[in-house]
Amino acid sequence: MRFLAQDQLEAFLGHLAGQGRVVAPVKGADGVVLFRPWEPGMAVELDVLLAKQAPKDYVFRQSETYLRFGYQMEGVAAAGAEVTAATDRAHAVLKVEPQNDAPAQVIFGLRPCDARGFVQMDNVFGGYGGFYFDPYYNAKREATTLVAVTCRDPRSTCFCTAVGGNPAGTEGADVLMTQVEGGLTAEAFTEKGEELLAFVGFSEAGQAQTLYAETVKEQAVARVDVPFEIEGVRENLRANIEDPGWHDLCMRCISCGTCTYVCPNCYCFNITDEIVEGKGERMRTWDNCFNPLYTLETSGHNPREQKSNRFRNRFSHKFWYYPEKYDSLLCSGCGRCITHCPTRIDIREVLRFMGSPRSAAAPAGEEA
């Protein structure tokens, strides 16, 4: 275990910034803590447990142009020939330029649930089981080093241990740092992490610092609430698919999508082309499954036209469909969706209710 004195933190970040982009939780003038590109002189906020949004935006961009295209005229129509839209089209050649900007970067100060969120997205974008390999996500992911910090003081809305995580978890993290008296301890778990800890400001952690860090971790685990038993949730969600409880639970939901945007692992996106005077961009932009148009088909049919169906999808995807495909959950228990839902919908309550046996549920196998 290594140790970095508090007064060396700025130098460490400055050293990293000399090699690439550093992203860290920083409090803005409005008091909101967000992951922002760090520059010397900026104070990193580690005492506020969670930035408002997970740092996924730096790997899976909220809005990203992934190709530019344009039509260029080639050849000239015969002299005197009538120029029509059809002749124009005959001479227009489509030029396409792929874009894939993936700067080397370190995301510093994310929490173990955020690092785990990247692993959960890796399954989808990273070719797990050969389904799909996304070059845009993966280029950024490979160029990124994750330096997580132990959650010394978990919130009442944290439930990472109920979903297989840990406030000092290392899944997805290249380095885990823990705040101790006088600074931070650091442990590396990958080659990328080892490289970071080669910075001269690190020293070997003393026995007292190591013991302190281990105590912080143990106490943090003990403080995280376990609001439901995960065993059986998948089967019960399946059995309860037609249960009227979904309708009752969704009444407060206003389909704003906030819960999906703040989440470290929600990964749905939409693709649009924007064309102005023959020049265009193909963009992908975060989408969310609460959006009524999300599943609208070209035929006009919408299999999730009702809000209750969209609401049901979010929880079933995270705790039933995704686990069936990837043998993992699509939730790391960060609690952001609880904190930021404007109508106070609580995923823990939904899972306690719909993830349990329900007497009114349709027998398993009768679902639509």
What is the x/- site pattern for ligand SF4, positions 55-94, by CB under 6 A?
----------------------------------------
Residue 334 binding ligand SF4, by CB under 6 A: yes
Contacts to ligand SF4 from residues 306-325, by CB under 6 A: 318
Two tokens at 82? 């009538």
Q: How far is the CB of 265 from ligand SF4 (least distance, A)?
A: 6
Distance separating alpha carbons of residues 266 and 259, to the nearest angstrom: 9
Task: Give the three-class secondary structure for 265.
Answer: coil
Interface with ligand SF4 by CB under 6 A: which range of 32-40, 204-212, 260-268, 272-280?
Answer: 260-268
Distance separating alpha carbons of residues 309 and 242, to the nearest angstrom: 10
Is residue 119 within 8 Å of residue 172, measured between CB atoms?
yes
Residue 331 binding ligand SF4, by CB under 6 A: yes
Query: How are the residues of the chain apportioned to helix, strand and coil, as percentages rounded to the nearest 5?
Result: 35, 20, 45
Residue 256 binding ligand SF4, by CB under 6 A: yes
Distance separating alpha carbons of residues 154 and 111, to the nearest angstrom: 10
Interface with ligand SF4 by CB under 6 A: which range of 10-18, 21-29, 297-305, 329-337?
Answer: 329-337
Residue 344 neighbours by CB under 8 Å, 6+ apart: 252
Residue 332 binding ligand SF4, by CB under 6 A: yes
Distance separating alpha carbons of residues 147 and 46, to the nearest angstrom: 12
Residue 345 binding ligand SF4, by CB under 6 A: yes
Among residues 169, 193, 227, 264, which is the contact residue for ligand SF4, using CB under 6 A?
Answer: 264
What pairing do the DSSP bridges indicate for beta strands 21-27 and 2-5?
Answer: unpaired
Of 91 and 307, CB closest to ligand SF4: 307
| Residue ranges in contact with ligand SF4 by CB under 6 A | 253-259, 262-265, 290, 318, 331-337, 341-343, 345, 347
